[in-house]
């Protein structure tokens, strides 16, 4: 995306920045379209010192976009009847962790900070997706255990800052994971405690006793911002904002109400606080994220650029509805207050919205980290009940075709995945569908050993892979009959 538009004045802050009460790790588009918007609205309605220090663990992009604007940016709601703009002022500053690790540790250790929230994507937890445990052999974790004063990873920063809070008497805070992971609160707690135990068992005991890790479910489709988005906003609003984010109208945030040091009045702006998020997060991960990934891999292979284009093909829409009705919903417990069939129909309407240009390639990123919770859990539950989810087996086969790195026209695929090189090497070394499937099922950080050893599952994926090789994604989906 272009840096900005020199012929327009830059967006700037016009009101005093709020006092900081939250540090957020991962200030990407979703956080700006979701957490920061809710927090901005809650402070406007109910007050409170909940300004956000945003921390990028890798890239300086967010800082370079937002710092000249005093942390402000525009939230653009996309809808068939047009785009609606709102300037968000909840972010007070953006830190880039590699530039100044100490500043990040100090920010989290500040007694005024009561929440550290996370949108760092699955790979940011440095865990094994198949087990949920911290990978002590992860390069960043190895570095951070050797150099705890200058961490690189999210677990490393959290443990360093929590150690300082304990030692300084700054008090406890809440660590709030907002990533699309099952039991994300328990996962965050687990990797933090695993890291702390490897560094200082007494610190691990203090964290286990004093720090809360609520689970959450987050939902708002947020396509990557493009130069066209920035230009259209400039034409409408008269200012340049390279930090703007575009998102759908729909949003849903469900949070386990377990905060040890207070929270914003998010409930006043629509957040649902519940005793347990588990049923909501399973519903969302399997119904939305599972079918999103299905449409991403099959749609990309079929030549579709966006989700809305993919489901405009009746065969792909019918396949999606089959997945919900026959393979996903039988494994999902109904959350309190939800109508599962109506929820899925709402999802299909969201997918069909042409104003939401959510690229299949974007959703396909980091599949090795996403597959276990979005797809493989549903398959495992179905197999345990004696069924065979043929549609989801086709999705796994499509992912395997995708990570092979060559599309159906012979063109290379830009596979963005932490295991991309290893997955491609394994795929390239295999000869034929069965060998390729066996080679990729051997990645135990993705596939649980019991599922990988399930012969009927392996055979179903191999047959689907062979059909994709022979007929292509569009023809395979069109002919799909479970």
Residue 71: pLDDT band with limits 50, 70, 90:
very high
Close Cβ partners of 322 (under 8 Å, ≥ 6 residues apart): 391, 480, 482
Question: Reading across the β-sheet that carries 272-274, which strands appear in turn?
Answer: 216-219, 252-256, 272-274
Q: pLDDT band for position 53 (50/70/90)?
A: very high
What lies within 8 Å, CB to CB, of 305 at 6+ separation is 359, 360, 361
Mean pLDDT over residues 28-47, rounded? Answer: 98
Using pLDDT thresholds of 50, 70 and 90, give the confidence band for residue 83. very high
Cα(305)–Cα(313) distance, integer angstroms: 12
Question: What integer pLDDT is reported at residue 2 of this predicted model?
Answer: 44
pLDDT tens digits along 305-314: 999 999 999 9
pLDDT band at residue 182 using 50, 70 and 90 as cut-offs: confident
Burial class (CB in 10 A: 0-12, 13-18, 19+), 48: middle
Mean pLDDT of 467-474: 98
Indicate if the pLDDT at residue 1 is higher than 60.
no
How far is CA 137 from its chain centroid?
Answer: 23
Task: Copy the structure tokens of residue 292.
Answer: 């999103």
What pLDDT sits at residue 61?
Answer: 96
Q: Is residue 248 scored above 50 in pLDDT? A: yes
What per-residue confidence (pLDDT) applies to 4?
Answer: 59
Of 175, 172, 165, nearest in space to 213 by CA = 175
What does the pLDDT read at residue 7?
A: 80
**Strand ranges, E, within 315-468:** none
State pTM to two decimals.
Answer: 0.87
Structure tokens at 381: 């539950």
Take residue 358 and report the two structure tokens written for it: 């959510």
Structure tokens at 362: 């974007």
Q: If DSSP codes are grouped into helix, strand and coil, which group holds residue 51? A: strand
Residue 112 backbone dihedrals phi, psi, to 5 degrees: -70, -20
Question: Beta partners for 274?
Answer: 256
For the segment 375-385, the average pLDDT, to the nearest whole number, is: 97
């Amino acid at each position: 995306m272009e840096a900005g538009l020199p012929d327009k004045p830059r967006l700037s802050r016009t009101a005093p920045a709020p006092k900081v009460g939250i540090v957020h790790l991962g200030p990407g588009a979703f956080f700006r379209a979701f957490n920061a918007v809710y927090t901005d609205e809650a402070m406007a309605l109910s007050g409170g010192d909940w300004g956000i220090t945003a921390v990028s663990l890798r890239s300086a992009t967010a800082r370079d976009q937002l710092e000249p604007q005093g942390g402000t940016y525009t939230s653009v709601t996309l809808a068939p009847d047009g785009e609606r703009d709102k300037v968000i002022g909840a972010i007070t500053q953006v830190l880039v962790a590699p530039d100044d690790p100490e500043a990040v540790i100090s920010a989290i250790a500040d007694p005024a900070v009561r929440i550290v929230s996370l949108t760092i994507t699955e790979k940011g937890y440095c865990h094994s997706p198949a087990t949920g445990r911290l990978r002590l052999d992860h390069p960043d974790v190895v570095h951070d255990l050797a150099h705890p004063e200058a961490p690189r990873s999210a677990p490393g920063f959290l443990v360093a800052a929590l150690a300082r809070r304990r030692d300084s008497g700054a008090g406890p805070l809440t660590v709030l994971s907002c990533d699309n992971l099952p039991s994300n609160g328990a996962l965050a707690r687990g990797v933090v405690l695993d890291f702390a135990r490897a560094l200082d068992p007494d610190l691990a005991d203090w964290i286990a006793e004093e720090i809360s890790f609520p689970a959450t479910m987050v939902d708002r489709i947020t396509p990557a911002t493009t130069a066209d988005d920035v230009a259209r906003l400039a034409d409408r609003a008269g200012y340049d904002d390279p930090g703007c984010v575009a998102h759908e109208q729909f949003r849903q945030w469900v949070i386990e109400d377990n905060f040890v040091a207070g929270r914003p009045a998010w409930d006043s702006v629509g957040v649902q606080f519940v005793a347990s998020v588990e049923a909501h997060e399973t519903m969302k991960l399997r119904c939305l994220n599972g079918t999103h990934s299905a449409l991403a891999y099959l749609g990309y292979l079929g030549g579709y650029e966006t989700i809305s284009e993919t489901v405009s093909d009746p065969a792909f829409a019918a396949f999606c509805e089959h997945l919900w009705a026959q393979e996903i919903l039988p494994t999902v417990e109904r959350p309190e207050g939800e109508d599962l069939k109506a929820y899925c129909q709402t999802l299909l309407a969201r997918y069909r919205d042409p104003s939401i240009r959510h690229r299949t390639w974007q959703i396909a990123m980091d599949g090795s980290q996403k597959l276990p919770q979005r797809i493989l859990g549903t398959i495992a539950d179905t197999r345990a009940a004696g069924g065979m989810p043929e549609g989801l087996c086709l999705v796994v086969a499509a992912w395997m075709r995708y990570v092979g790195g060559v599309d159906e026209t012979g063109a290379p695929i830009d596979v963005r995945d932490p295991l991309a090189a290893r997955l491609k090497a394994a795929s390239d070394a295999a000869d034929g569908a069965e060998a390729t499937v066996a080679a990729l099922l051997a990645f135990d950080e993705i596939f649980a050993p019991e599922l990988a050893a399930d012969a009927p599952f392996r055979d179903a994926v191999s047959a689907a892979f062979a059909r994709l090789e022979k007929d292509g994604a569009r023809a395979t989906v069109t002919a799909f009959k479970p």
